[in-house]
Chains A and B, each alone.
Chain A
Amino acid sequence: MIETHGLSKNYRSCGALRALSLKVPEGSAFALVGANGAGKTTVIKILMNLIQATSGTARVFGVDSRQLSPQQFRRIGYVSENQELPGRLTVSGYLNYLRPFYPDWDVALEREILQRFKLPGDRKINELSHGMRVKMALTCALSYRPKLLVLDEPFSGLDSLVRDEFMAGLAEQAGDMTVLISSHDLSEVEGFATDVAFVESGRLLFQEPLEALTDRVQQIKVTVERQSALPRTTPDTWIDLHETGNVLTFVDTQFSEFDLGERIRSQIEGVRDIEVQPMSLRAIFTSISRATRHVQE
C-alpha cells in the first residue's frame, strides 16, 4: 500500500529524514510513532505529495508520490492537525463542494458521521472549535470510504472526550481500509494499531506488528543476593537499565521465554528472582527513545 526507500529530506543543512525505508501493509492500522520533531509529519507530507523528498522514493498504491493524481486521491483520505479547510464555507457547504469529486461518496454515511460527531451543518468552518474542525476533516475523509486513510497527529489539541469520539468514529468506519496514523501520543493508538514504526531523529528505528513488538520487548526485574553482584557490562539488547539496591530493572528488546533464567544468570551472579512484566506501547517507546538518545550522546 505504502512503501518508502531511503527517504531523506533536508531543510537547509538540517536533516529531517535520513534514509527512511518503510512498508505499510494493506489492511493494517499502521502507527508511525516518534517524539515531536522526529520526522513523522515530514514522511506523511512526502507521501501526500505536499512536499518533495531530497532523495529516495515514496510510493502510494504503487505510484510515485510525486505523481499522485486525482485517480489516487479519490481513494485517499487525509486528516492533519493543521489542515486548512475553507473557513468561510459552512460544514454542509464544504461537504456539498467535495461530494462531486468522489464517485464513491456515500451520502448516508456522511449523514451518519455528521450525526455521530454532532456537526452543525449550517455553521461556518472557521466558527468551529479545533476539535470540531478535526471531526469535520475526518467526516470529509471518511464519507467516500477511502482505501487509505492518513492521519497526521489527529489528536493534537483535542480533549480526551473528543479523542474517544474520534477514535470510536474511526474504528467504526475503518473496515478493510488501510490506516496510517502518526502520533506522539501512544496510548491513543495502542488499542487501534496493528503495526507500529518508531521514528527517531529522522531515522526509522524499527517497524513490526504491534503484537510481535509487545512480545519482543519486555521489562525484566532481577533481584540478586547482594548489590556487588550486578554486572558492569550488559548485552546491547538490554536497555534502560536501572539499579535500585540489589534490584536491576531493564528492558529486554529481544525477549524470549526460552531459557530466560540461564541467559540472565550467565550475565548476573547470584540471581534470586526474575520477574517479567509486559510493557505498554508508551513504555516501550519511552525506553527505546531514551536508549537511542543515550547512544547518540
Chain B
Amino acid sequence: MSRYIFRTIFSALPTLIGVLTCVFLLTRLIPGDPALLILGENAPQEQILQLRKDLGLDQPIYVQYFHYLYQVFHGNLGISLRTERSVIKEIMDVLPYTTELAIAGIFVSVIIGVPIGVISANRRNTMTDFVAMTFAILGVSMPVFWTGILSTLLFSLYLGWLPAIGGGDPANLIDRILHLILPSTAIGMAASAITARMTRASMLDVLHQDYIQTARAKGLEELKVLYKHALRNALIPVITVVGLNMGRLLGGTIVTEIVFARPGMGKLLVDAIYARDYPQVQGVVAFFAAMVIIVNLLVDLAYSIADPRVELS
C-alpha cells in the first residue's frame, strides 16, 4: 500500500516540474524586455541595466530556469509589480475563498448530480430519464457567468434573499455560507450535469451485474438494492470523475469570482492580467496548476483506498 502511495507521489513530481517549466517558458515569451515594461521607455539606461541584473535577465536562459525552480521550491513566487508584496502572500490571502468555493461547488454537483443519475438509471428510457438527461446537457451548455448573472438578478435583485457580492465576513460562518450559495450553485450546476451522466452510466453498468439480480431475487426492497449495493459500487468511477472534474471546477471559479465580486485566486489572476503584473500572473498560474496536480494525487490515493483492486496494477 505504501509503495503505491510512494509511486503515485513520485510520478506527480515530474508533472509538477513540467508545469513550472511551462510557466517559465510562457513568461519568457512575453514580447519586449520585462525591465523596459516595468520602468517605461523614458527611464535612464543605467536603471534599466540595473533592473535587468536584479531580475537575473542577463544570465543565460538555463541559469534563469534553475534559479526559477530553486526559488519556487523555496516558496518564493516573486514579487507582485502592483502591490510590491510577495506573490505567495497575495495568493495565501485569498486561497481560502477559492478553496471553499471549489469544495462547495463539488458538494452541490454531488448532491444534485448523483440522485439525478441514480433516478435516471433506474428509470432508463422513460420520460424522467429524458428530462433528466436534457437537464444535464443544458447544465453543461450554459456558461457559468451567465447563469451566475441570471441568478443574481433573480435571487439578489428581485427576491432579495441572498447577498449579491463578496465573500462574506470571515469571522461569521453563516455569512460566509450565505455568500457561497449562489456562486457554488452556478459552478455546481455545470459540474452536476457531468456527474449525473457519469453516475447514470456507471449505475447502468452495475445494475446489470449478477449480484444485483441476486439481491432482487432475494426479495430485498428496491431502495436498499439501489443504494446499498448498486450505488456503492457505482460510486468508484464517479469519485474519479468528481476528482478529475476538480480541474474544470477550479477553472470555473475564475469566472464565478468575477461575476460575484468574490475575493479569490481567479479575481487575483484577472486583476494581474489587466495590470500587466507578470510576476503575479506567472505565480497564480503555477499555483493553480499545482493545486490541480495535488487534487488529482489525492483522488488517486482515495481511489486506491476505496477500491482494493487498484494497487495490484
Task: Tell me if chain B binds chain A.
Answer: no
Q: Which residues of B contact A (CB under 8 A)?
A: none
